[in-house]
Chains A and B, each alone.
Chain A
Amino acid sequence: SQTIHQWPATLVQPVGSPLSLECTVEGTSNPNLYWYRQAAGRGLQLLFYSVGIGQISSEVPQNLSASRPQDRQFILSSKKLLLSDSGFYLCAAEGPGNTIYFGEGSWLTVV
């Protein structure tokens, strides 16, 4: 079975600072990878997905970016955070039967 690791689990960043959230996947090779954001009390919004190394698709215009430098590594970044970037960020990977599995998430508070 696959395991998804995300870090950091929690961070508080000032407005205008950079961001880097990392995700690694174990137990599978060449998975489709995803970044979702969940604002407080709201559903999950797909931000980016990747079908392979260096292949990134963006679903929502924003000041965030994603990269996939290795097969099982997915990184979410920002050069300058906005207050509206606060939220719960979830990395996910597609497993057998098209099922998407999630990591434990990273809480970001922009102050």
Chain B
Amino acid sequence: EDQVTQSPEALRLQEGESSSLNCSYTVSGLRGLFWYRQDPGKGPEFLFTLYSAGEEKEKERLKATLTKKESFLHITAPKPEDSATYLCAVNAGNMLTFGGGTRLMVKP
């Protein structure tokens, strides 16, 4: 059975304080690992797809990396507008299996 675990559940940062979110996964036949951002009351917004170990992708202050067992979402010098819940998901067939998310709060 596919499993995705995200840590920490919640993370408080000061503006400019860099950190990383973790996504550990167990899946057979990975077709992609996905990161989403979700603001309160909204649908998840797609950020990145990673397909193979060693792959990295960047977007503004965010950088996603992938190994055979986990993915990291690195946030460099975060701003208050980066506050959101970040979701990780794996695709091993026709559907996504999601982790529980990390709620990020960035204080000015």
Contact = CB atoms under 8 A, between A and B. Distances in A.
A51 interface: yes
B42 interface: yes
Contacts of A4: 43
Contacts of A49: 94-95
Contact of B98 (A44, A98, A101, A104): A44
Interface in B53-108: 87, 89, 91, 94-101
A43 B96 contact: no
Q: How large is the interface on B (under 10, 10 to 19, 20 to 34, 35 or more residues)?
A: 20 to 34
Interface in A82-101: 88, 90, 97-101
Most buried by B among A51, A59, A100: A100
Interface of B: 31-32, 34, 36, 41-46, 49, 87, 89, 91, 94-101
21 contacts: A34-B95, A34-B96, A43-B87, A44-B44, A46-B95, A49-B94, A49-B95, A88-B41, A90-B44, A97-B49, A98-B91, A99-B34, A99-B49, A100-B34, A100-B89, A102-B36, A102-B43, A103-B43, A105-B41, A105-B42, A105-B43
Interface of A: 4, 32, 34, 42-44, 46, 49, 51, 59, 88, 90, 97-105, 107
